[in-house]
C-alpha cells in the first residue's frame, strides 16, 4: 500500500467513526471531480434555479448521514460511491423541479432509465468545447460545439456516455466500467471503438481543436 493509500484509509476510518474534519477533507479531495459530473448532467432548465455548489452541499449532507453504511470491502470504490450519491441527489432535484417535464429520452432508457442520469449530446458538446474561453475564441467555440454535437448524435448512447466519462469526467477505464456495469475489457474495447468513430465523424481538423 502506498503512502497516499495509507493516508486515505486512515482518513476514511476516522470519517466513518464520526470525525467530521476527516470527512470534510475526504470530500474536498473529490470535490472537483464530483462537480464536473454534476455540471455535465444538470438539465439546462435547472441551471437558473440551482448551482452545482448547491448540489455538492446537499450531497455532502447525504454522505455525512450515510457514511456508516459504506462498505470499503465492496466492489464500489469510495469515489464512485460519492459520485453515486451525487447523481441520486441530482436525479431527485430534477424530479422535484421538473416533474413530468423531466426528459425521458431513448438515451436514458438505453443506459438504465431512472437510476442513471445520462448526459445529453448538447451538454457533452458544450463540455468538449469549454476549454475555448476567450472572447476571440467565442465564435470558434460555438462552431466547434455544433460539430461535436452533430458527431455525437450519430453515435449510440453508450458510446456517447463512455466518451463523456473518460474525456470530461476523467474516469479511468476501471471506473467507467463500474459505472456502466461492464467488464473492464468490454469498457476498454467500447471506448476505443467510440473514440475512433467520434474522430471519424469530426474529421482531423476539428479533432485537433479539441486537444
- Give the domain CATH number at 96: 1.10.1740.10
CB atoms within 10 A of CB 170: 11
Same domain for 7 and 66: yes
- Where a domain ends, among 64, 82, 101? 101
Same domain for 115 and 88: no
pLDDT value, residue 47: 81
Same domain for 142 and 76: no
Contact 56, 28 (CB under 8 A): no
- Report the number of distinct structural domains present in the chain: 2
Examine the pLDDT at 109 and tell me if it is beyond 70: no
Residue 201 confidence class, pLDDT cut points 50, 70, 90: confident
Backbone angles phi, psi at 55, to 5 degrees: -65, -40
Q: Which three cell numbers stand for residue 50?
A: 440551482
- Where a domain ends, among 74, 101, 128? 101
Same domain for 61 and 116: no
pLDDT value, residue 44: 82
Burial track 83-118 (b if 16+ CB lie within 10 A, e otherwise): bebbbebbbebbeeeeeeebeeeebbeebeeeebbb
Contact 140, 112 (CB under 8 A): no
CB atoms within 10 A of CB 74: 9
Query: What mean pLDDT is predicted for residues 158-182?
Result: 93
d(CA 42, CA 32): 15
pLDDT value, residue 141: 76
Same domain for 110 and 58: no
Same domain for 87 and 21: yes
Same domain for 41 and 89: yes
Same domain for 194 and 137: yes
Same domain for 173 and 123: yes
178 or 119: which leads in pLDDT: 178
Instruction: Print the domain residue range for 28.
Output: 3-101
Query: What mean pLDDT is predicted for residues 75-100?
Result: 88
4 or 19: which leads in pLDDT: 19
Examine the pLDDT at 53 and tell me if it is beyond 80: yes
- Where a domain ends, among 53, 83, 101? 101
Same domain for 166 and 196: yes
Same domain for 113 and 184: yes
Same domain for 120 and 34: no
What global pTM score does this model have? 0.84
Examine the pLDDT at 130 and tell me if it is beyond 90: no
Amino acid at each position: 500500500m502506498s503512502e497516499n493509500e495509507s493516508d486515505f484509509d486512515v482518513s476514511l476510518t476516522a470519517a466513518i467513526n464520526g470525525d467530521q474534519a476527516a470527512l470534510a477533507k475526504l470530500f474536498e479531495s473529490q470535490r472537483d471531480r464530483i462537480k464536473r459530473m454534476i455540471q455535465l448532467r444538470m438539465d439546462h432548465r435547472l441551471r437558473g434555479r440551482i448551482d452545482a455548489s448547491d448540489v455538492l452541499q446537499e450531497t455532502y449532507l447525504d454522505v455525512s448521514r450515510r457514511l456508516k453504511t459504506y462498505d470499503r470491502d465492496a466492489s464500489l470504490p469510495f469515489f464512485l460511491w460519492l459520485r453515486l450519491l451525487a447523481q441520486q441527489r441530482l436525479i431527485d432535484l430534477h424530479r422535484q423541479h421538473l416533474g413530468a417535464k423531466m426528459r425521458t429520452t431513448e438515451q436514458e432508457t438505453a443506459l438504465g432509465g431512472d437510476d442513471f442520469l445520462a448526459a445529453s449530446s448538447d451538454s457533452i458538446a458544450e463540455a468538449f468545447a469549454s476549454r475555448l474561453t476567450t472572447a476571440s475564441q467565442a465564435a470558434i467555440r460555438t462552431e466547434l460545439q455544433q460539430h461535436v454535437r452533430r458527431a455525437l448524435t450519430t453515435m449510440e448512447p453508450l458510446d456517447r456516455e463512455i466518451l463523456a466519462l473518460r474525456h470530461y469526467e476523467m474516469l479511468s477505464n476501471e471506473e467507467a466500467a463500474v459505472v456502466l456495469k461492464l467488464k473492464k475489457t468490454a469498457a476498454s474495447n467500447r471506448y476505443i471503438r467510440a473514440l475512433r468513430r467520434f474522430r471519424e465523424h469530426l474529421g482531423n481538423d476539428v479533432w485537433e481543436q479539441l486537444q
